[in-house]
Amino acid sequence: MSQQNQRTLLAHTKEELEERVVALGGRPFHARIARDLLFAGARSYEEMTSLPTQLRHALTAELPLLSSELRLMTHASDGATKLLLGFPGREEGSDEVETVHIPPHNPKSTKGATLCISTQVGCPVACPFCASGLAGLVRNMKAHEILEQFLRGMDVGPIGRAVVMGIGEPLLNYKEVRAALDVVNKELGLGTRKVTLSTVGFPDRVREIATTSPPFQLAISLHTPFDAERDVLVPAMKGVPIEDVLSAGDFWFKETGREITYEYVLLGEHNDTPDHAHELGQRLRGRRANVNLIPWNPLTPMSSDPEMPNYRRPRTEVVAGFQEDLEEAGIITTVRWSRGLESDAACGQLRLHANS
């Protein structure tokens, strides 16, 4: 078996790791030391000089620290760093995900960066404006692979927040996501207030997680206030009324005290009209919610299929008008122009470029 396909240190439970370390001639507490040093930044056993030399050699031969390969790293002029990580998979080159490290706007801030992580290889939601959904779902990521993205991100710089907004729909792989976030919370010290789950809002799952999970922040990708249009823009939610999604969001707020952020990708001349803004304002009026408007980033052609819609970036004045309309309805609204635009910032686009 090649080392890349062996189970890594991170893939072992604490008990399993102690057993492995003892089988390789170490003492149980050496397992804890190795794991702590990995979290503290060691990326080879040779750096772990508090472990006996013989054990370091044995571990190097038998137990890989990480399973991913850093396939590409791009830096944008605003400081964002995108990592393209390759995990062992069923097919050569098929299991790539991206992780983005976004430093605070103010370079003097000590808050640390925001890390955007992926939870699935490919995405089953299949939004027609998103490169990640083009090929559908390849597989769910394991908890240790989700966790590994944090370690890769920490290699770029300190992390103060995490957004589960990369490739994949976290609520469709929640057991693994939750297991990874528990470690992030307990061993990396990132509080639940600093972690945002981003979902298309499956109502039953939102309600269940609201009552069974720690109170993470929740962002729900809405993209339109009209049911028929949402069936097209968010295909996995076909037939689920927007009102059910919003009422699940209300439930989340009631249970956790955390206000919902509704994400809205603005597609030029599609969902950026005054009618959309007016209807969205009506839907959200009186709810404990705010809106993030994300002007769509069209860097990479989405598809050569002539049947695919030809989306475009919305005009700046249209974005400003949309925001104004929502604010007049009393909804706090922020525009999030993609950062790192010139280095392929849109979701999934880095992967497509690397493969082309």
- Give the Cα separation of 315 and 312 in Å (integer): 9
Query: Whose Cβ is closer to ligand SF4: residue 76's or residue 237's?
Result: 237
Q: Which of 18, 98, 145, 263 is catalytic?
A: 98
**Which residue lies nearer to ligand SF4 by CB, 133 or 153?**
133
Q: Which of 58, 117, 162, 200 binds ligand SF4 (CB under 6 A)?
A: 200
Q: Which residues contact 234 (CB under 8 A, 6 or more apart)?
A: 125, 127, 200, 221, 223
User: How many residues line the site for ligand SF4 (CB under 6 A)?
Assistant: 12
Distances from the Cα of 304 to the Cα of 68, 102, 209, 213, 350, angstroms: 31, 31, 39, 42, 18
Q: With CB under 6 A as the contact rule, which of the stretches 24-32, 35-43, 85-93, 118-126 interacts with ligand SF4?
A: 118-126
> Is residue 133 part of the contact set for ligand SF4 (CB under 6 A)?
yes
DSSP bridge pairs for 292 = 263, 334
Measured CA angle at 227 (ends 226, 228), to 5 deg: 100
| Residue 159 φ/ψ, nearest 5 degrees | -115, 130
Stretch that binds ligand SF4, among 74-82, 164-172, 253-261, 290-298 (CB under 6 A): 164-172
Farthest-apart Cα atoms in the chain, separation: 70
| Other beta carbons less than 10 A from residue 106's beta carbon | 8
From the CB of 218, what's the least distance to ligand SF4, in Å?
Answer: 14
Give burial (CB, 10 Å; 0-12/13-18/19+) of 110: exposed
**Among this protein's residues, is 98 annotated catalytic?**
yes
Catalytic, out of 123, 127, 130, 347: 347
Binds ligand SF4 (CB under 6 A): choice among 58, 66, 130, 331: 130
Q: Is 145 part of the annotated catalytic residue set?
A: no
Task: Pick one of 347, 350, 351, 352: the residue that binds ligand SF4 (CB under 6 A).
Answer: 347
Amino acid letter for position 303: S
Q: Residues 99, 119, 132, 343: which binds ligand SF4 (CB under 6 A)?
A: 132
Residue with the shortest CB distance to ligand SF4: 133
Please tell me whether residue 21 binds ligand SF4 under the rule CB under 6 A: no
Can you give the binding site for ligand SF4, defined by CB under 6 A? 123, 125-127, 130, 132-133, 167-169, 200, 347
Active site residue ranges: 98, 347
